[in-house]
Chains A and B, each alone.
Chain A
Amino acid sequence: MFSFIAKRLVQSVLVMLTVALIAFSLFRYVGDPINNMVGQDTTLEERDELKERLGLNDNFFIQFGRFARNAAQAEFGFSYQHRRPVSDLIAERMPATLELSLVSALLALVVGIPMGVYTAIRRNSWLSHAFMTMSLVGISLPTFLIGILLILFFGVVLRWLPTFGRGEVVQLGWWSTGLLTASGLKSLIMPSITLALFQMTLIMRLVRSEMLEVMRTDFVKFARARGLIERYVNFVVALKNTMVPVITITGLQLGSIIAFAIITESVFQWPGMGLLFIQAVSAVDIPIMAAYLVLIAFFFVVINLIVDMLYVVVDPRLRVDSAGGH
């Protein structure tokens, strides 16, 4: 197990270096950062001087080498726009993104799994048909459109929920949380639904098809024959055997939720890392873009690792395999 984790960690460094290299080669096409950093009356000499000072005149490999060396020491430089260390900015914004992502993932699981089980067991009830139709909507509407529609309905027409931001936050050490204030919780509702909707429908459909598969197997029939109560058969015997693909997908999707929170965050002006990134792109704030992309790559790698370890917990067959070593 230990060597497995160590191997994965080495791989993850390679993955992150590759991401950084690709990202860096793209930065040359995002435009000129200098014009966003000075006023219109700033002279050409001063602009050139600034460019030189930032090392933007150096060739690609020197710039990349410098970035990789600093990044290895968790040093991502100064943001051009905020004029603050990038690591500070990311630390400041990370709680918002993680809270939103985790609440969304939880929402997707808590709602998606029961819906999936229900639609598998009662395939022909009208409620199942309603769920299936709704899931089509969830899977086909783009995130920003869902966000805007929610804002219009609950924010502008009904005025129940705040249309943007995170509400009041409470500082717990370096972590800022919106989960402890009323306005923070209210602000979380629409963004988390927007972000969860796609995953929710995905999980529902996945659980449903896996359940239909498992329900046909002999051991489920046998469990019924033993006279176990229906709920136990459905939710313990059958559901547990659908979990491996669900965990894989949920795990991978958690990575995407964090990464693609960008859109939800910008629609709701949610002050997370995604918003920081999207603003950095429009301002050509290279240090932020580079740090964010590397960090997201790191998240994906770590989440994948955790997913691999969870398999072993859920599926005893894998445990035997690794211990026995055929």
Chain B
Amino acid sequence: MTKLSKSLKAFLVGTSVLAGAATAANAETFRWAFQGDAQTLDPHGLFETFTLGFQGNVYEGLVKRNDKMEMVGALAESWENIEPTVWRFKLRQGVKFHDGSDFKSDDVVFSVNRLNTEGSDMKVVAGLIKEAKVVDDYTVDIITPAPNPILPNQFEIFYIMDKQWAEANKTTEATNVKGGDEGNHANLNANGTGPFIVKSRQTGVKTVLVRNPDYWDKNMKSNITEAIFTPIAQDATRVAALISGNVDMAYPMPVQDWKRLDEADGVKPLAGPEARTIFLGFDQLRDELTASNIKGKNPFKDVRVRKAFYMAIDVEAIKDKVMRGASIPSGLMIAPQVNGFNAKLNVRAPADPAGAKKLMADAGYGDGFEVTMDCPNDRYVNDEQICQASAAMLAKIGVKVNLLAQTKSKYFGKVLAQNNYDTSFFLLGWTPSTFDSHNVISSLIACRGGEDKLGAFNLGGYCNPKINELTAKIQSETDQAKRQAMIDEVWQIHADEVGHIPLHQQPLSWGVSDKVDVVQRPDNQFDLRYAVVNK
């Protein structure tokens, strides 16, 4: 009996919610879809672009990037480097969390401590901070282990959580995959200061956000009152959902469907350059390649072979044939939006198969050789096709590429550190999370396996000790001109030694209804603050 009355009550509540939704006046509802879901609502639970970008509608950091990608204040009004290792942040006053409690400096200190708890995936950010100190209710000092001129840039994705709320809900530690329900409250619930409040969420199915009526930024561009997010995994279903008007915005759209979106009524493709650079790399560390017919030596240790590969690959042809003209060929391992980019160095020598063949002969590989190429097939835009095209180009200089294209979990499981970097030749892409060259250099270019723990994603083991020295200096140099000179030096060395072969920056590919205006960020984040439903 009680069970029946309970379900009856649930039914009545359900219908009354429906009725409520129908009567809400002048509501601007925005519906959007992405290929996956935010993996957690915990702002310190996963360092991943989409998850953090999604949370950014609910939570806020001390600073943020605006629609022009400039750093502006969010929860901090101003900040300055009062000593080489001390950054002082003046906090915005009168900001409230969604549950009504005030935002103060102890929330910042609490959030810094939370970054260091076991389940946190934001320990990279935690590592930037030695200590956070409350100066007064609205002033915080962040002490860094070494001088760090770009700290604010690295803080955009460090979101602030309410101390009282976390304590009341026993979620003072970041959510952990292996843990009880106790600590996981923040995984499914959120209490930020951002412009949107999580109204309901079913993981992997649907999340409904409603506008925060007390949001501090009264000049926010968005007029959205309710935003409904649905993950749609299948490309065809996502495209159909957009064209049929079931969602107002969806991404990513397959590049080959742009024409269809152009021809369909009421929708258009929105393309732009992403800050992700796609490149090829080779194993230069082992004395013998694990996947090649050359035994007893490693052809990639010879810079002439690497140079020959570089000359054989025609990035313009890849742009025209594979990327439908939408990629931006690159001579550098970083995109123009990334701090430290120097247009003068961004030169891509044209393809020269004849010259490449000659270099191969000089290096003693006139008859070419065989090598296996590792490639993901569902991670980057047209990744497998890029590898196929590269293999065809390399065939012209006598190199027989055996392509091993796999789904991303298999691919990464093979080529990353946990499997001892088992690859001889590979394709990879990278967006620096900090939008600074240092991130790329320290993760991809610096020698791996040393005391300094750099080069974790240097899959090919490219190594020039000079670069590790420079990396440490770049990290702490506060003079921008000197810093740029050192970054330039690294890119020059890397290009001369052909450490990797940069291919291009891949295109962002969104599909948008004519009924809405959105701003596309080069890191593929979507910010509801700049989304407008047209009346």
Contact = CB atoms under 8 A, between A and B. Distances in A.
Interface stretch (A58-66, A83-91, A108-116, A203-211): A83-91
Interface string A226-250: 0000000000000000000000000
Contacts of B243: 156
B297 to A, nearest CB: 28
Given A54-B177, A181-B18, A271-B205, A48 B237 contact: no
A282 B409 contact: yes
B204 A46 contact: no
Contacts of A284: 409
29 contacts: A31-B406, A31-B412, A32-B412, A32-B416, A34-B418, A40-B433, A40-B443, A40-B457, A42-B47, A43-B456, A44-B453, A46-B123, A51-B418, A80-B177, A82-B203, A83-B45, A92-B202, A155-B246, A159-B245, A163-B244, A164-B232, A165-B206, A169-B14, A171-B13, A173-B3, A267-B236, A279-B204, A282-B378, A283-B409
B230 interface: yes
Given A41-B124, A84-B187, 7 more contacts: A32-B419, A33-B409, A38-B47, A80-B177, A83-B187, A156-B243, A168-B18
B240 A156 contact: yes
Interface in B163-205: 175-179, 181, 184, 187-188, 202-205
A39 B184 CA distance: 19
A47 B416 CA distance: 11
Interface string A153-184: 00110010011110011111101000011000
B213 interface: no
B46 interface: yes
B244 A159 contact: yes
Contacts of A148: 236, 240
A43 B122 CA distance: 10
A48 B123 CA distance: 14
A41 B443 contact: yes
B234 A172 contact: no
A88 to B, nearest CB: 9
A156 B433 CA distance: 38
B324 interface: no
B233 interface: yes
Given A34-B418, A84-B188, A155-B244, A267 B234 contact: yes
Contacts of B302: none
B466 interface: no
Interface string A14-48: 00000000000000001111111111111110111
A254 interface: no
Interface in B426-445: 430, 433, 439, 443
Interface in B450-482: 453, 456-457
B68 interface: no
A78 interface: yes
B234 to A, nearest CB: 6
A47 B204 contact: no
Interface string B130-165: 000000000000000000000000000000000000
B277 interface: no
A35 B416 contact: yes
Report the interface size class on chain B: 35 or more
A70 B175 CA distance: 22
Contacts of A40: 47-48, 430, 433, 443, 457
B46 A39 contact: yes
Interface residues of A, number: 62
B276 to A, nearest CB: 11
Q: Closest 10 A-B residue pairs measured CB to CB?
A: A39-B47, A32-B413, A31-B409, A170-B14, A31-B410, A271-B205, A35-B412, A41-B124, A173-B7, A31-B413
Contacts, number: 178
A105 interface: no
B39 interface: yes
A97 interface: no
A32 B376 CA distance: 13
A81 B45 CA distance: 11
Contacts of B233: 266, 269, 275, 278-279, 282
Given A32-B409, A41-B439, A82 B457 contact: no
A317 interface: no
A84 B183 CA distance: 11
A97 to B, nearest CB: 13
A195 interface: no
B402 interface: no
A80 B39 CA distance: 9
Contacts of B13: 171
A50 interface: yes
Contact of A50 (B177, B188, B378, B456): B177
Contacts of A175: 7
Contact of B203 (A84, A164, A165, A278): A84
B105 interface: no
Contacts of B456: 43-44
A118 interface: no
A67 interface: no
A32 B14 CA distance: 41
B237 to A, nearest CB: 5
A41 B47 contact: yes
